[in-house]
Amino acid sequence: MLKKLFAARANYAPIGDIRLAGKNALMGLGIRSRKWRRKHVRGGFRIRDVCVALCLIFLFAGLVEWVGMHLGERIEGVPRVIDGDSVELDGRELRLRGIDAPEFDQTCGPPASSTPCGQMARAKLQRLAQAGHFRCRLSGRDRYGRDLADCEAGTISVNAEMVRSGFAVAYGGYSREQAQVRLERKGIWAQEFVTPADWRKGQGRGEEPDHHPAGGFSGFLRRLLGV
């Protein structure tokens, strides 16, 4: 009988061994869990850090642009209108920022009934110039070295009014005004036309990047990201 008991007991592991095996198993799970956390959680920290860095970069770029636009150089006086989006003021050639008017020799509409939309755009800007002297805030330069400007004639935003009246298209700004004038079909939107940028390209003239933001580091970021 005793032999049978000892033989049966020999078939079972000691309680201490079972406890040790369980402890080792739990330790193994703990090690794997820590490895998983290091692999995934640290990776999450890296992604989070990149996102934070990008947000800070864009915030800094926006701050630089805001300072340039609100605290930049200002000039005023009676302008000499060059075309639908360019004037000469105080001896400097200014390019109205964020808009693109038809070129002076550009026509719009079908050939049989085309209109001199470039000359019409210039005439519209001349009427605004007659409304009062211009006050312009400068913010950078375009590829031709012209100062980019946001101008006012009295209480009227010249840049916005050129788009709102349908004699210029949005070119990095004033998209809200353009959406409205397209619905109203005013100015060049009353007929078929080629955008000034495409017309210049068809004439073999140089391409001009849009004006939002007005160059600088923030402009580089937008072009880099395609936004």
pLDDT digits (tens, 9 = 90+) for 130-166: 987 899 999 999 888 899 999 999 999 999 999 999 9
Query: Are 212 and 172 in contact, with CB atoms under 8 Å apart?
Result: yes
Q: What secondary structure does DSSP assign to 54-115, as a single string? A: HHHHHHHHHHHHHHHHHSS-EEEE--EEEETTEEEETTEEEEETTEEPPPTT--BS-GGG-B
Quote the pTM value: 0.64
Q: Tell me: the pLDDT tens digits for 23-76?
A: 555 455 455 555 545 555 554 556 766 677 777 766 655 554 544 545 579 999
